[in-house]
Amino acid sequence: MDRLATLELFVRIVERASFSAGAADLGISRPVATAAIKDLERRLGVRLLQRTTRHVQPTVEGWEYYRRCLSILAELEEADQNASGGVAGLLRVDAPGNLVRTILLPALPDFLAQHSGLTVHLGEGERYVDLVREGVDCVIRAGKLDDSDMIVRPLGVMQEITCASPDYLARHGTPKSPHDLEGHMMIGFVSSRTERVMPLEFTMGDGSMEVALPSRVLVTGADAYAAAARLGLGIVQAPRYRFDEDIAAGTVVEILGEYTPRPTPLSVLYPSNRQLPPRVRVFITWLVSILKPVFGDPPPDAS
């Protein structure tokens, strides 16, 4: 294994905390990976990794070597881009499934045509992702974000609506204000961050109010949430773009339009402990360009 490939292997082993996982990411066997790292340590004359039966942990010297490897690999990728005039490699992104299917995928052919050397791995999810450990370049997330050591770049805000199916409204009546919701049901959306059912939210003048209605159906995914609304199982709140086609088709109806929930910020996150690779940079630039017509500019005080 040449020196560059060994550096890439070492970085992946550190980030995955596993010889097997790091080797698998690069398509090599564990014995080859183990031999390569042993040769590297022998050549440097220092122990870089502490091995246990469960984990691989860098030594003090290993952490310093890892940081220098990140810098070297990022600069090499930058040099390759400048020389070739394009970016190349595997780009791994994680985003909410509905956003992937309705906005990212339809625009992706143009992006791939502009960057013929890129391969894009799109994961669908809203769970917490350890970007470094899982080898993900960036994630797109909605809502207020927990404090972390990630760099957060706002992408815009999603306008929210309250809606229900015509069948549900025929059975329960159409509320004219949040105060008319007694006797109504909501579909409970369980937050992946708090594991609690999220209440409905309504703007009232200069403030807002939360309403927790009874729920006979609880879901953890956005697709199931929307499907349950179409089936008349309760009231839901979601980004407007998610129900545009349903509203046009009449399968759901917007209600309480004068009391819309506060807009939800949309952001892209990536690790702060490394130089931003060119492949990620061009992806984020493209991301901003395709999302702006849909969600507009992020608010001036977004951070």
Rounded to 10 degrees, the C-alpha dihedral 177/157/143/233 comes to 40
Per-residue burial over 74-109, b if 16 or more Cβ lie within 10 Å, else e, is eeebbeebeeeebbbbebbbbbbebbbeebbeeeee
Hey, which CATH number is domain 86-157+265-295, 3.40.50.300, 3.40.190.10, 1.20.58.2030, 3.40.50.12280? 3.40.190.10
Amino acid identity of residue 177, one-letter, is S
Is-contact 9 73, C-beta < 8 A? no
Q: What count of other Cβ atoms lies within 10 Å of the Cβ of residue 293?
A: 9
pLDDT in tens, 114-171: 998 899 999 887 666 666 667 788 999 888 776 567 888 999 999 999 999 999 999 9
Is-contact 11 66, C-beta < 8 A? yes
Match 């209605």 to its residue by tokens.
213
Rounded to two decimals, what is the model's pTM? 0.71
Element at 269 (helix H, strand E): strand 264-271
Hey, which CATH number is domain 3-82, 1.20.1370.20, 1.10.10.10, 3.30.70.141, 3.30.420.40? 1.10.10.10
pLDDT in tens, 23-68: 988 889 999 999 999 999 999 999 999 887 677 888 989 888 888 8
Bridge partners for 51 per DSSP: 56
CA distance 197 to 192: 10
Is-contact 219 188, C-beta < 8 A? yes
For the chain, the average pLDDT equals 87
Architecture per CATH, 160-262: 3-Layer(aba) Sandwich (3.40)
Query: How far is CA 178 from its chain centroid?
Result: 32
For CATH 3.40.190.10, the residue range(s) in the chain are: 86-157+265-295, 160-262
For CATH 1.10.10.10, the residue range(s) in the chain are: 3-82
pLDDT in tens, 187-240: 999 987 778 999 999 998 888 899 999 999 999 888 899 999 999 999 999 999
CA distance 232 to 170: 10
Is-contact 7 66, C-beta < 8 A? no
CA distance 292 to 284: 12
Structure confidence at residue 302 as a pLDDT band (50, 70, 90): very low
Residue 176: predicted pLDDT: 95
Percentage of the chain beyond pLDDT 70 is 91
